[in-house]
Amino acid sequence: VAISPKFMQYFDSWISFQQKTSFHRTQTMDFKNGYAFFRLPREGVGGETLFANQLSQDELDGLCTKGATLTYGQVKRPAPSRFTPAFVAYDKKVLKFDAYFMEEVAISPEEHYRIRHVCLYYYLEDDSMCIIEPKVKNSGLFQGKLMRRHRVPKNEHGDYYHWKDLNLGIDLTIYGRTYRLVNCDPFTKVFLESQGIEVNPPEELVSDPYTEQRRMPVQKPIVPASPDPFRQFLAYDTKVLRFYAIWDDTNCAFGDHHPCIIHYFLADDTVEVREVHKRNDGRDPFPVLMRRQRLPKVFADKNKNFPSCVLEITDHEVQEWYSPKDFAIGKTVTLLGRTFLIYDCDKFTQDFYREKYGITDFQPVDVNKKPLEKVPQVIRPYNGFGIPEDSLQNCLSLFPKPPRKDIVKMLENNLKVLRYQVALESPVPEDKNRRFILSYFLSDDTIGIYEPPVRNSGIPGGKYLKRTKVTKPGSTPENPIYYEPSDFTIGSTIEVFGHRFIITDADEYVLNYLERNAESFPAATVQSIRDHFLPRKMVVETTSSGIPKKDLDDLIVEVQKELKLLEPFNTRQFHEAFHHFDKEGSGFLDKPRFLNICDRFNVPTSTILLTKV
């Protein structure tokens, strides 16, 4: 049996397919110059080599038409006709019909219905339809595509409109709106006739009556003989009467007197009102209060139910309009419900009234507001809380602010403090020996009092008065007078919130500060501090006069030994006696007084020891 080579080739392919382990397919899509294209595979499934097809296309077509016969061999059959789908056969083939529909108009007194022209397109490829209305400029209607392209239902049974249902001279109801088909294009007519449909004769396209009425020329009304307005315009063009007025709006909530300017245009007897704005007046910057228009003065008799507020006013409804004779200085005019008081006018207006009406009195009316009588502000009495300046802020503003401080003074006198030693003046025996340190802060004129603690005194000591301003006795809350450095002298009494203190001593910084700024303080204050520090200076001078310190210490030891020989010696009474005989407070006693005090206290006065002293 002879075996053909092609059979052996197919047999080998089948054997190799049974032994395959890889079944992937080769890539047939490729890109070239940015375009995708299809190429024939060079390898088969699993990378197997493909043999080129030796048969031509005609031979392959012949093999497809051959039938299996045993007697007469293969019979050639004709190739089947090529099938063409509808979307290819009818691509870009559209039936066009001219139509119109009638739309009801219920809100216009001039028309009850309108005719709208449309174009109906039927697409043969998918039996879809769309309706487009040509746009008319300034028509005020929503035109263009009235119905998008889609298959239009014909009835409630699920049927759709077909091109067989379309013809001229018929009414087509689509979504409740009836269209009248009146004409079509030549292609539509040829297509329908080729399909065996007898096309009806075309009809005339009905026009819209309102549109035809608008196209008719408007007849100009015949004006009876009267003063020529054009002559008035030529004579009084650019000539305007200007009046200065006040609009009283105080009857309304938040109303006020608004200054306005009234312009009367002589060319056409129109009136314009402009509001005069001032800087920071709090109103919106709209200059025109009333636009330029003719203003009615007296209306004719009319029906009260007539809606004149929303319609334009015609000459038939007005009996008299405002004219130049209705405006004058000192006169009140009502324009569209607003009352204006005219108080002045410009020079051109005065000349116009003088020539035409013979008016010569143009005295302006004074409309300036009289200044309100200033009500004196009553300051409530000081309640004792805080300092008076701080409490005063509650009377000056709704939202009180802290009192302003002198920053320059605070910077110049920063950390400058005058310290004094004071004693409390009190009838209580326990308070006689209490000593305090009074500090005066020059930066803000405040006073602070501190009591040094004394052991076993029964008084804890510490801060007696926090830093605050202290007023003098007799000052009022409306005009407080505070203590100053010039008020602090040795022996003076300071009253602090009902407590009296006597100044007994001062710091050396006080003397140095007063001497450096002697021109700013009274001479009595400076001299008082100087006299207080004079004995201390003399003691210092005596100590530094040249006496050896060892001899001075030996003398002190000898005096102490003599005093110890006495029975009990009262040192406190001895010191009080010295201060009693020192009337001037100089810190020194002469020799006779000194010996007299020694005899009183039975102090032995050795001649040798007295000579050394």
DSSP state letters, 225-243: S---HHHHHHHHTT-EEEE
Determine which of 79-88, 131-140, 274-283, 472-481 has the lowest per-residue pLDDT on average: 79-88
Determine which of 14-18, 131-135, 136-140, 397-401 has the lowest per-residue pLDDT on average: 14-18
pLDDT at 443: 92
Of the pLDDT bands very low, low, confident and very high (cuts 50, 70, 90), residue 102 is very high
pLDDT at 488: 92
Reported as a single tens digit per residue, the pLDDT across 42-57 is 777 777 777 665 566 6
Distance (Å, whole) CA 181 – CA 168: 5
Q: Is 275 left (phi over 0), alpha (psi -120 to 50) or beta?
A: beta
Residue 144 has pLDDT above 90, yes or no: yes
Task: Over range 467-494, report the average pLDDT.
Answer: 88
Reported as a single tens digit per residue, the pLDDT across 359-413 is 888 999 988 888 888 888 887 877 777 777 888 888 888 898 888 888 999 999 9
Residue 453 in contact with residue 460, Cβ under 8 Å?
A: yes
Residue 276 has pLDDT above 70, yes or no: yes
User: pTM for the complete prediction?
Assistant: 0.38
Reported as a single tens digit per residue, the pLDDT across 513-535 is 999 998 989 998 988 888 888 76
Distance (Å, whole) CA 508 – CA 22: 114
* Domain 229-304+312-357 sits in CATH 3.30.465.10: no
Of the pLDDT bands very low, low, confident and very high (cuts 50, 70, 90), residue 181 is very high
The residue written with tokens 């009022």 in the block is 476
Mean of the per-residue pLDDT values for the chain? Answer: 83
Reported as a single tens digit per residue, the pLDDT across 107-120 is 888 888 999 999 99
Tell me if residue 332 falls in helix, strand or coil: strand
pLDDT at 404: 86
Residue 219 has pLDDT above 80, yes or no: no
Topology match between the domains 86-214 and 415-543: yes
Residue 352 has pLDDT above 90, yes or no: yes
Of the pLDDT bands very low, low, confident and very high (cuts 50, 70, 90), residue 607 is low
Q: What is the 3-state secondary structure (H, E, C) of 464-503?
A: EEEEECCECCCCCCCCCCECCHHHCCCCCEEEECCEEEEE
Of the pLDDT bands very low, low, confident and very high (cuts 50, 70, 90), residue 574 is confident
Residue 131 in contact with residue 179, Cβ under 8 Å?
A: yes
Taking residue 308's Cβ as centre, other Cβ atoms within 10 Å add up to: 14
Residue 181 in contact with residue 99, Cβ under 8 Å?
A: yes
Residue 271 in contact with residue 322, Cβ under 8 Å?
A: yes
Residue 269 in contact with residue 247, Cβ under 8 Å?
A: no
Task: Over range 481-488, report the average pLDDT.
Answer: 91
pLDDT at 153: 93
Domain boundaries, the chain: 86-214, 229-304+312-357, 380-409, 415-543, 549-601
Domain 86-214 belongs to what architecture? Roll (2.30)
Give, rounded to a whole angstrom, the gap between the first and last alpha carbons of the chain. 171
415-543 folds as PH-domain like (2.30.29)
Burial of 243 (0-12, 13-18, 19+ CB in 10 A): buried
Q: Are strands 493-496 and 318-321 parallel, antiparallel or unpaired?
A: unpaired
